[in-house]
Amino acid sequence: MRFSIVGAGAIGCLFGARLMMASHEVTLVHRDPIVVRALKKNGIRLQDLDGTLTKVRVAIRKGPTRLPGTEVLIVAVKAYDTRAVAASYRGMIHPETIVVSLQNGLGNVETLRSGFRNEILAASTTEGALSLGQGYVVHTGRGVTLIGDARGASSDASSRVKMAFDRAGLKAETRSNIHGVLWTKAIVNAAINPLSSLTRLSNGAIIKNRGIRDIAHSAMNEGISVSHAMHIKLVGDPRKLWQRILSSTRANKSSMLQDIERGKMSEIRQLNGAILSYGRKTRVKTPVNGILTKLVLGLEESSKTTKSKVLSGFPVRTNR
């Protein structure tokens, strides 16, 4: 199959490299010319679980750009960039191209549907990936990618994408209730990402800290209550999935913590912020998710200020 992947971050590079190694045609698209130049020069450097480093040459283009011949367009950008993708790529792909949201957070499918008339699939993955630089990705943990039609219908496209992922060594399964999958994953991420960002704790350390565990469970219970009010049938118990993900990725840093450390915007608005917003609409109280949202937004502001001072040459003072 011919894939185009918008977003050359950790997940985009992991899936791009794996699909390329399985003899699929892959084109990566990224808006940052520095990233594009680095990937053109060095390709994707993929470090596997056993430490093996493989260099994978893959086509890379600066976006937005027309993508003729693309059978599957994977959107792997941060959730806050989804609206820009939907607007920028409208009319740039063939009507028969399958669009797959491979993203965290809530609302991505609805945003993509507003921009494309194509068939929209949603995918949720527990594959672990850590970026060590432009095009350098470490596969930190094997997981499973759940795929489904955003309309809830039985989809031949979902089966085709699943087979391609399986062939690339990325275990995949199809689900009819993909919205339930996305909500379950969002509730779990809302109880991992902000807590790891605020405490700087690894996934394994979060499990061991009783106080943090209590906050996490409170955040998840609020998310579960909101999903019930939204008439969303969750796929699995978020609390059990939370435990399983943290146990299998003990040494990992969450993607949100990685963003905060780099002074980048986080996906807090599409996780805890979304639960908070839906809670207001359904009159379900979500105080813990509200506090976590405000704290991480403050952390973003602090990180950006620090990064700005460093780049401008001003000294960054610390309290002693």
Q: For 107-120, what is each residue's pLDDT tens digit?
A: 999 999 999 999 99
Query: Would you please indicate which residues are annotated as catalytic (active-site) residues?
Result: 185
75/154: higher pLDDT: 75
What residue type is 11 in one-letter code? Answer: I
Q: Look at residue 75 and tell me whether its pLDDT is greater than 90.
A: yes
Q: Which CATH entry fits the domain spanning 2-176: 3.90.180.10, 3.40.50.720, 3.40.1390.20, 3.40.190.10?
A: 3.40.50.720
Helices 178-189 and 210-229: angle between axes, nearest 10 degrees: 150
Mean pLDDT of 280-290: 98
Residue 247's pLDDT band, with cuts at 50, 70 and 90, is confident
How far does the chain reach from its first CA to its final CA, in angstroms? 57
Q: What kind of fold does domain 182-309 have according to CATH?
A: N-(1-d-carboxylethyl)-l-norvaline Dehydrogenase; domain 2 (1.10.1040)
pLDDT of residue 154: 66
Q: Look at residue 304 and tell me whether its pLDDT is greater than 80.
A: no
Share of the chain above pLDDT 90, in %: 80
Q: Looking at the chain, which residues constitute the CATH 3.40.50.720 domain(s)?
A: 2-176
The DSSP code for 266 is: -
Mean pLDDT of 146-174: 92
Tell me whether residue 200 is exposed, middle or buried, using C-beta atoms within 10 angstroms of its C-beta: 0 to 12, 13 to 18, 19 or more.
exposed
C-beta neighbour count of 74 within 10 angstroms: 28
SS3 78: coil
Q: For 15-29, what is each residue's pLDDT tens digit?
A: 999 999 999 999 999
Q: Looking at the chain, which residues constitute the CATH 1.10.1040.10 domain(s)?
A: 182-309
132/312: higher pLDDT: 132
pTM score: 0.90
Half-sphere exposure of 77 (CA within 13 A, CB side): 25
103, 182, 140, 265: CA torsion to nearest 10? 40
Q: Look at residue 316 and tell me whether its pLDDT is greater than 90.
A: no
Residue 248's pLDDT band, with cuts at 50, 70 and 90, is confident
Q: Look at residue 312 and tell me whether its pLDDT is greater than 70.
A: no
- Measure the CA–CA gap between 182 and 307, rounded to whole angstroms: 33
Q: Look at residue 55 and tell me whether its pLDDT is greater than 90.
A: yes
